[in-house]
Amino acid sequence: MSADAGADDELKAAEARVGETLGNKWRLDKLLGMGGMAAVYSATHKNNLKNVAVKVLHAELQRNESIRTRFLREGYVANKVGHPGAVSAIDDGTDDSGAVFLVMELLSGESLAHRVDSQGGKLAPREVLVVAEGILDVLASAHVHGIVHRDLKPDNIFVTEGGGVKVLDFGVARVLDSAEARTRTGVVMGTPEYMPPEQARGRSEHVDGRTDLWALGAMMFRLLAGRYVHVAETQNEVLLLAMTEHAKPVIDAVPSLHPKVAGVIDRALAYEPTDRFPDAEAMRAAVRQAIALLDEQDGKETLVPVRELDDDELDDAAATIPVSDFAKARTASVSIPDDSKPRNGMWVHTKATPPELPKPPAKKRGFLPIAIVAGVLSIVCVALAYNMHARGVRPAPSASATTSALAAVTPDDPDADTDGGEDDIELDDDDAAVAIMPTATSRPTARPTSTAKPKGKGKKHKH
């Protein structure tokens, strides 16, 4: 019979039990799930109506005495842990039909395996750390009592609706001071993907609390990276890798992971037990530090660059804001990251609203530009007037003084200086610079023929 056919038969048999009463007191109400060893039901006590979970060993396994014994000891070991995070056993027994069952507290929530699947195969770092902290609380208590779980995996971790963490299935747990612990060397028990080297090699004498820490590190790796520490096509090949290969750094699979978080996982996954955390309490302390670091990081205000104000804008703003207020506007919300180099521009907190700087006042066009233009035109007019005066030219009756002066200096005039459009004019110091106004009777006259040298030292002006 194929494995699929066998699984179908087990499912049908499990569904057929719904409505039965086990041990003459526990009525099976609903099938909750199926595992490799047992089916799990929600059930009710027929007298006090207490709601519980009942695990019933699969029929084909009930004939194996060692499996029956290991199944029933789960409740004993879970109760011995003595921690609320370990699911407690309420009752156990064998029904008249031969069904072996274990009664445990009923939980409301979901398994960690289901949760990660519903989230797309990965969980956020902080959520993984919080779950790990809850598991380590349980492991610290279990290890003190000499109990090693040996089968930590997402299927055996339950997250309650209130966010609590429960550790399930102590069925393959090892009690270090038991006779079984001294005689079972060479037997490999657990899930290959979460087995450390000593457990994969069947070296049970080397199995201790640090074995569970490796399994927890492998679980955290899986929840963050979306894949196992060791990946192979068969379970035997996975076991071989677990025996011989060191775990790769988790940062290789999750580059964005904070180094502190990565450090916790990498140490838990150390090949040699002596290189791992010495116990669950030490790892729990490291996990709590990592949680606090992430919380502190998330609580910091994010810095973002804003447009840099140029000098003119800052000066304009300063001119319209009192000195004390302007200092606040420039410094109250300005922050430079500690680890950053000097940057061009300001950095402001996104959680704070920076004081709004007033818009720069509109620049007024004052009188100065107009005065400059008027001055230049006046100089041109005066220069032309002196030119005309020196040549003995009078303005025409119908032309303005400026136009007459320009007309008097033309290429037709043999005495005109045309060196590139610039007229060099020598003036006496005692000549008055007066504007030549047009008159009705003025006419151009011939230039004086006097050769007398001008009085005083002449000055050369350009216009």
Mean pLDDT score of the chain = 76
**Is residue 270's pLDDT more than 90?**
yes
**Is residue 18's pLDDT more than 50?**
yes
What is the SS3 assignment for 316? helix
C-alpha–C-alpha distance, residues 192 and 171, integer Å: 16
C-alpha–C-alpha distance, residues 126 and 148, integer Å: 26
Among residues 416, 412, 405, the alpha carbon closest in space to that of 377 is found at 405
C-alpha–C-alpha distance, residues 347 and 9, integer Å: 67
C-alpha–C-alpha distance, residues 129 and 111, integer Å: 16
**Is residue 118's pLDDT more than 90?**
yes
C-alpha–C-alpha distance, residues 168 and 74, integer Å: 9
Across the strands, what pairs with 89? Answer: 104
C-alpha–C-alpha distance, residues 403 and 381, integer Å: 10
Among residues 82, 79, 81, the alpha carbon closest in space to that of 90 is found at 79
Q: Give the pLDDT confidence of 38-91 residue by residue, as tens digits.
A: 999 999 999 999 999 999 999 889 889 888 888 888 889 999 998 999 998 999
In the predicted model, what is the mean pLDDT of residues 126-135?
98
Across the strands, what pairs with 160? Answer: 109
Please give the backbone phi and psi of residue 195, each rounded to the nearest 5 degrees, phi first. Answer: -100, 130
Q: Where are the alpha helices (DSSP H) in 17-101?
A: 65-81
Range list of β-strands (E), 247-310? 303-305
Q: Out of 137, 151, 169, 316, pick the active-site residue.
A: 151
**Is residue 2's pLDDT more than 80?**
no
CB atoms within 10 A of CB 133: 17
**Is residue 100's pLDDT more than 60?**
yes
**Is residue 170's pLDDT more than 80?**
yes
Q: How far is CA 25 from CA 40, 59, 375, in A?
A: 17, 20, 116
pLDDT at 210: 98
**Is residue 380's pLDDT more than 60?**
yes
Q: How far is CA 252 from CA 27, 138, 256, 452, in A?
A: 51, 30, 9, 103
Element (H, E) at 259: helix 259-268
pLDDT above 70 covers a percentage of the chain that reads 61
Residue 259 near residue 251, CB atoms below 8 Å: yes
Query: Which amino acid, one-letter code, is at 40?
Result: V
pLDDT at 297: 87
- Sorting pLDDT into bands at 50, 70 and 90, what band is 209? very high
Residue 151 bears catalytic tag: yes
Residues 6+ apart with CB under 8 A from 307: 345
C-alpha–C-alpha distance, residues 386 and 325, integer Å: 59
C-alpha–C-alpha distance, residues 179 and 172, integer Å: 15
pTM above 0.75, yes or no: no
pLDDT at 379: 74
Q: At what angle do helices 125-144 and 65-81 cross, to 10 degrees?
A: 100
- Sorting pLDDT into bands at 50, 70 and 90, what band is 131? very high
Q: Give the pLDDT confidence of 396-421 residue by residue, as tens digits.
A: 444 444 333 333 333 444 443 434 44
pLDDT at 96: 87
Q: In what order do the strands lie in the sheet with 38-45?
A: 21-22, 26-34, 38-45, 51-57, 100-105, 89-94
C-alpha–C-alpha distance, residues 217 and 290, integer Å: 14
| Pairing verdict, β 100-105 and 459-461 | unpaired
Among residues 63, 10, 68, 65, the alpha carbon closest in space to that of 40 is found at 10
Residue 250 near residue 262, CB atoms below 8 Å: yes
C-alpha–C-alpha distance, residues 298 and 351, integer Å: 13
pLDDT at 53: 96
